[in-house]
Structure 1
Amino acid sequence: MLQAQGVAVNRGGRCVLQDVSLALQPGQVLGVLGPNGAGKSSLLGVLNGELAAGSGQILLDDQPLTSWQGRQRAQRLAVLPQSSALNFAFSVEQVVHMGRMPHDTGRVLDQQIVDEVLRAVDAEHLAGRSYLQLSGGERQRVHLARVLAQLWPGADGQVLLLDEPTSMLDPLHQLNVLDTVRRFADQGASVLIILHDLNLAARYCDQLILLGEGGVQASGSPEQVLQPVPLHRVFGVDVLVQRHPVRGHPLIIAR
């Protein structure tokens, strides 16, 4: 389990986050919401070890994240940043194979996993194409396949961190990708996902954290967090919250 305990983050001499605590539970999807500049990506950077916490600590299985060796950590923790860029004409399969680098599972199994994750993100038809020839949304799905391949098929003790994985996708692929993430968590993995779409968060997340003004403004189930008062306080918008007529989760409608 990945935990943040009383974490503060300072960037450019400014306190971006203060006193943030969370625990990623096996089999659950934790959504992180907040306006631009609220510290969502900074939180993800601290959780994956890219940024040092100004105070507090990050624990993986009750051990400081810094005590985990790179290869050992990569077998347990995979990260999709907000933007991933490659400037070389790798094939799509070569890009996804990069996710298998921490493992010694052999060419046959690695190829099987690459095929499975490409199918899972609806990118199987892109195999063999040059990464540089892909659209932005196609590249995003290929990078998601890469980080999924790193942990595939998902299990208790593994952690997946995703920063806006649907930002460049059309509505159909947004749903397809989040269905895949949901199934991955159902295998026992812990998932943290940064989202801007409140209704997608309501549909796919088990728990939510709402960031604003340097800290956690609300946390709990979608029903607890997606309420008019905290959403207006953080985003400055007036919303109507109803129950989805089919699925039952909160449905957010701007007034």
Structure 2
Amino acid sequence: MLQANNISYQIGSKSILRNCTIKLKPRTFTAIVGPNGAGKSTLLKAITNEVKLRNGSIMVNGHSSSALDSKALSRIRAVMPQHTSINFPFSIEQIIEIGRFPHHTSPVENEEIIEKVIEKARLQSYRGRTYQTLSGGEKQRVQLARIMAQVWDKSPHPKYLLLDEPTSDLDILHQHALLGTARELMSDNLGVLAVLHDLNLAAQYADYLVFMKNGEIVKQGETREVFTKENIETTFNHPVQMLEDPTTGQTIVVSIPNHMHLEPQKEIRYA
């Protein structure tokens, strides 16, 4: 399990995170949602030791993250940032190979792993392409493959992928392709933690939702229990309606434009 225990972070006198506790279990997809400036990406950075905490601790598979060296941590958890700028004509295979840097494996073994990752990420048709020729959605899928390669080893211990707004610039095809691949990886004893802005995508793919507002976790729990009108309106300070998708039967959220006033409807929950 990857766990943040009562963590807080501040810049000068400004509090950015306050007493946040979150658990990421293997074989579970957890999504962090909340308005702009809520602290979602900062929480991700805190979990990966990118910022210095005021208080609290990060535990990784029962060990304090501060007690593990950077290479050991990199083999257990990998981060996909919002944006990755690469200005060299690397092939997609070379980008994915970057993920193997924390490992002491042979070139032959690395090549075998890269091939397996390409297959898992469904990137076979992109072999030999340079990264710069790819669309935004294709680049994100290659970056997902890179972090897959980073945590790929024979160890039975749980691994974790942390995705910071991975779908923010993607069309619906690539959104579902990327998140679908992430869900499939959970069968390999892997946990996924993603910051997502699209509430319906979060509800479709996440087993567990974490609502953040003003640097605090205001609600968290299984998606079917916490994906409610009350929690969404409290977190985002905006009126919404909860409807049932006629095709999937899932609950979806519809935000109400400011110039419209609809009669309140009965909230629909997961069965």
**Alignment TM-score > 0.5, same fold:** yes
Matches within 5 A, 1:59-208: 59-152=59-152, 156-208=157-209
1:45: which partner in 2?
45
Relative distance call for 1:153 and 1:173 in structure 2 (3 A) is farther
Report the residue type matching 1:201 in the other structure. A
Q: CA deviation at 1:247?
A: 3.6
Gaps of 5+ in 2: 257-271
Q: 1-side partners of 2:12 and 2:33: how far apart?
A: 22
- Whichever of the two has the greater Rg, that structure is 2
Deviation at 1:8, TM superposition (A): 0.7
For 1:19 and 1:6, locate their aligned partners in 2 and report how far apart those are by CA, in whole Å. 4
TM-score, normalised to structure 1's length? 0.92
Alignment of 1:221-240 (within 5 A): 221-240=222-241
Single out whichever of 1-10 and 165-174 deviates more from structure 2: 165-174
- Indicate if the aligned counterparts of 2:162 and 2:192 stay in contact, CA closer than 8 A: yes
Residue 214 of structure 1: aligned partner: 215
**Is contact 2:75-2:152 (8 Å) kept?**
no
Is 1:16 paired with 2:47?
no
Report how far residue 78 of structure 1 moved: 0.6
Query: Matched residues, percent identical?
Result: 36
Residue identity in the other structure for 2:183: R
Q: Aligned partner of 1:95: which letter?
A: I
Deviation at 1:85, TM superposition (A): 1.5
Distance 1:156 1:252, change over 3 A: farther
Q: Deviations over 1:187-244 (max 9, x none)?
A: 2211111111111111111110000022011111122222112211222222111333
Structure 1 runs of 4+ aligned residues shifted over 6 Å read none
Partner of 1:6: 6
User: Aligned pair in 2 of structure 1 residues 13, 120: CA closer, same or farther (>3 Å)?
Assistant: farther
Q: Secondary structure at the match of 2:99?
A: helix
TM-score (normalised: structure 2): 0.87
| Partner residue, 2:269 | none
Deviation at 1:168, TM superposition (A): 2.1
Amino acid at match of 2:67: S
Aligned length: 255
- Cα distance in structure 2, aligned partners of 1:35 and 1:153: 36
Distance in 1 (CA, whole Å) between partners of 2:114 and 2:14 is 41
With 187-196 and 232-241 compared, the bigger mean Cα shift is at 232-241
CA distance in 2, matches of 1:50, 1:85: 19
Corresponding residue SS for 1:75: helix
Deviation at 1:113, TM superposition (A): 2.5
Q: Structure 1 unaligned runs (5+)?
A: none
- Provide the C-alpha distance between the structure 2 equivalents of 1:135 and 1:51, rounded to a whole number of angstroms: 31
C-alpha distance 75-125 of structure 1, shift in aligned 2 (>3 A): same
Cα RMSD after superposing both structures: 1.9
